Chains A and B, each alone.
Chain A
Amino acid sequence: MVINRRQFTAGSLALIGMAGPAKWAVAAETGARFAGTAKSGNGYVAAVYNANGQILREFLLEGRGHGLALSPDGQTLAVFARRPGYYIRLYGLNDGRLIRDIHPAADRHFYGHGIFAPNGDILYATENDFEGERGVIGIYDAARNFVRIGEYETGEIGPHELVLMQDQKTIAVANGGIATHPDFPRQKLNLFDMTPSLSYLDRESGEKLQEARLPDELHQLSIRHLAEGPDQTIWFAGQFQGSRQQITDIIGYHRRGMDQPQMIQLEAGLTARLHNYGGSVSCNLKTGKVAVTSPRGGVVLIFDGRTRQLEQVLESADICAVSPFDKSFIASTGQGEILDLPHETSSLTKLLWDNHAIAL
C-alpha cells in the first residue's frame, strides 16, 4: 500500500472555480459531465456540472430529489424524489424542457431510484406497496408518455437502488427490508424483524432469478445502495439499523450463485469511522475501482473491485454522491464541494449536494 499524503495549495486554476455557477449553459460543455441532486437556497434542484465544479444547468424540483437516470440516447434526465417520493420528474437534458412529472399509483410511493431499459423504451422505478407491505418495481412505457404498464415484485420490502447489469438482462435490486407507511413519514416500522435482501430479476419477465440474504446476525443491515463491479459482482453498502454501539461491517459484495453476500472486513478503527452507514456506491468499469461513501464518517473508500482490497480512504465532511470519472471518481458533499479525485482538485459550489450523482 502506497502512502500518498500530499498537500497542494490553491494555484492559478483557482480563478476558474470562481466563475459564478450559471443557470443555463453559460460555460462550455466539453468534457465529462455529471448530474446530481442538490439543495439550492430553500429549494431543491437537479444540476449538471463538470469536473471543474462549474454548474452548467439547473433543473427545478418540487421537493428534495434523490437518484437520477439518463436515457440511453442521452436526451432525457429522470430525477427521482426522495422517499417517500411522490414524483419522478423528466427533463430534456439538453433543451431543459419539462417532459413530464410521473406521480405514483394509488397505494404506492417511490423509493428514490430508477433506471432506463437499454433501448430507453421503459423506465423502471423502485416503489413501496405500503398497504400490501411489498417492494415493487414500477414499469413505465416511454413511448406512451411514461404511462405505468405494470410492476415486478422485488421479493422483499423496501427496495431502494437498482441497477441494470452489464448483461443488459438482469436487474439487481437492493431491498432495504424496512417497512414504512406514508402516514408515519420516515418512521421505520419493523426494525426488530427486518430481513433485507439483494435480488436479481429478469428485466423482461420480472422473474426472480435469485434472492440473497445476509446472515441472521446482520438482519438489521439495510442494503440500500449498489453498483456492479468487475466480474458481474454486485457491490453494496448498507445502513445498520441496530444499536449504534454495535459496530458493524456495512460493505459487501455478491455474485449470482453465491449463497450469501460476503462482507468486507476493514480495520476496526475504519469500520467505526463509517458510523454503520454507507451513503452511495459507484464503480468505475474502466479501472475496476469501487467507491463507497459514508457521509456520517465524512469518508470515501476506494477498493480494487477485482482483488477487493482497500486502496484509498479520503476524507471530506458530508461526502456522499460519487460517480465514475477518468481513472477514479468524482464526488460531492453536502457542504457544496465537488471533488475531482483523479486530479486531486476540489471546487466549492453554491449548491449543497445530495446523496447521489451520475456520469452523463
Chain B
Amino acid sequence: MKKIIFSLLIATGLYLPSAAGAADFTPAITAYAEDFVIPTYEDLIAKAENMEAAAEALCAAPDEDRYRAATNHFTALVGSWSQAELIRMGPVRSKNRFEKLFFWPDARSRGLKQVQRLLAGKSDEVRETMNGLSHASVAVQGLPALEYLLLSGDKDKTVAFATEGTRCIMVRGIATNIHTLAREVLGEWQGGEGFAKVLEKADADNPLYRSDAEVMQDILRMPAELLQILEESKIRSSLGKSIEKSRGKRAPFWRSDLALQNFEGNLNTLKRLMDILNLDQFIADDASHLNNSLQFEMRQVAGVFDRLSSKKLSWPYLLKDPEGYEQLGYVQFPLQGVRNIISEQYPEALGLQLGFNSLDGD
C-alpha cells in the first residue's frame, strides 16, 4: 500500500496524457493518414463514380451489356468498400455516414423491408425520397440497398430496369449518394482543419487526442474491431449451430455472392495497414517477433480464404460444403490470433496503456 499521488486537476487545468512515456508515433500516424486513409478513400470515390456512371447508363437504355457493366462496377465498389470498412474513426463516423454507406447487419430485415416498400411505391414519392436522401432512413442509402436493387426482381434484369421506374430512380439516387458520402468523408480528412491534422497534432490543447499514443490506441482499435466483426458477426454467425443450420444470409453481400471477397478485402486491408504502420520500428529488438507472428497468422487466414475461393462455390453452397464449413470454422482461430496480437500484444509492447475497462467498455 502506498499513499496516492492525488492530482486535483480542476483548478490547475492540467490534464496529463494517460500514455506518457510511450514512443513518438508521429511517423506512423502521418503514414496512416497519408498512405492509408487518403488513398483508400480516393479509391472508394473512383469506384463510386464509376458505379454512378454505370447506373446512369443502365437506366438510360437498359440492356444486358449495361446491366453487366453495372454489376461489375458494383463488385469493384464492394471491393473498395471492403478496404475502407477498416477505417472506423473520424468523418465517416459523423452524421451516421458509416451506417449510410453500409447498413449492416440488418438483423430483423428492417432495412430490406424499407427498400422493398420504396421500390413498390409511387415514382414521385420515391424521387422525392431520393432527392432528400441525406434525411431518409440510413437503411435505404448505401451498398446493401444498391445490392438488392441490382440483383432482385425479374430474372431478366433488363426487363426489371426497363419496366420498374422506381428501381432506376433508386439505383441512380443511391449510387450518387455513395459517391457524395465518399467525397464528403475524404474532404473532411484533408485540408488545414482536416481530421488528418487532428491526428497529427495530438497535445493537451487537442480536445480529441492528448498524445500521439492515444491516436495510436485509436488506430489499433479499428483493426481489432473489424477482426471481431469478421470472426464473430460475418463468419461465426453464418456458420450457425451446424452445417445443416448454416445461415449464409447472415453475411454481408451474400446476395451478390461477394461475401468471401468482402472477407478477403478486410484481411488485405489489415495487412496493408500494418505494413504502413510498421509498428516494429517502435519496439526494441526483443519484441520484434511480433510482426513475424502477425504475418504468420495472417498467412493462415489468407490460405483458408484462398482455398475457399478456389472451390468456386457460391456463398450458401460453400457453407453447405463439408470442407468449406470446416475451413470457415477453423479460420476463426488464426483470426483470433491476429486480433490478440493487435489488441493486446502490440499495445503492450508499444507501451500503450490500453486498460481493458477503457478499451471495449460497457
Contacts and interface: CB of A to CB of B under 8 A. Distances in A.
B358 A334 contact: yes
Contacts of B191: none
Interface string A58-100: 0000000010000000000000001100000000000000000
Contacts of B195: 245
Contacts of B198: 245
Contacts of A189: 105, 107
B237 interface: yes
A52 B198 CA distance: 42
A191 B361 contact: no
Nearest to B234: A184
A17 to B, nearest CB: 3
Question: Do most interface residues of chain A lie in helix, strand or loop, or is the interface mixed?
Answer: loop
A170 interface: no
The 10 closest A-B pairs by CB, nearest first: A318-B355, A8-B3, A17-B1, A334-B355, A10-B2, A295-B357, A320-B357, A295-B358, A272-B207, A334-B357
A324 interface: no
17 contacts: A1-B10, A4-B6, A9-B3, A52-B1, A185-B233, A186-B228, A191-B96, A245-B198, A295-B357, A296-B361, A313-B7, A315-B9, A317-B18, A318-B357, A345-B3, A345-B4, A355-B357
A269 B9 CA distance: 10
A142 B207 CA distance: 49
Give the interface size class of chain B: 35 or more
B6 A344 contact: yes
Interface in A1-47: 1, 3-11, 13-14, 16-17, 39
Contacts of B13: 267, 269
Interface string A136-178: 0000000000000000000000001000000000000000000
B266 to A, nearest CB: 15
Interface of A: 1, 3-11, 13-14, 16-17, 39, 52-53, 66, 82-83, 112, 131, 133, 160, 179, 181, 183-187, 189, 191-192, 224, 239, 242-247, 267-270, 272-273, 277, 279, 295-299, 310, 312-320, 333-335, 339-341, 344-347, 352-355
Contact of A14 (B2, B6, B362): B2
Contacts of A9: 2-3
A115 B271 CA distance: 46
Interface in B37-96: 89-90, 93-96
A277 B356 contact: no
A298 B7 CA distance: 12
Nearest to B229: A187
Interface centre among A4, A299, A313 (most CB of B within 10 A): A313
A315 B107 contact: no
Contact of A346 (B1, B12, B16): B1
A310 B9 CA distance: 11
A351 B232 CA distance: 28
B3, B99, B207 interface centre (most CB from chain A within 10 Å): B3
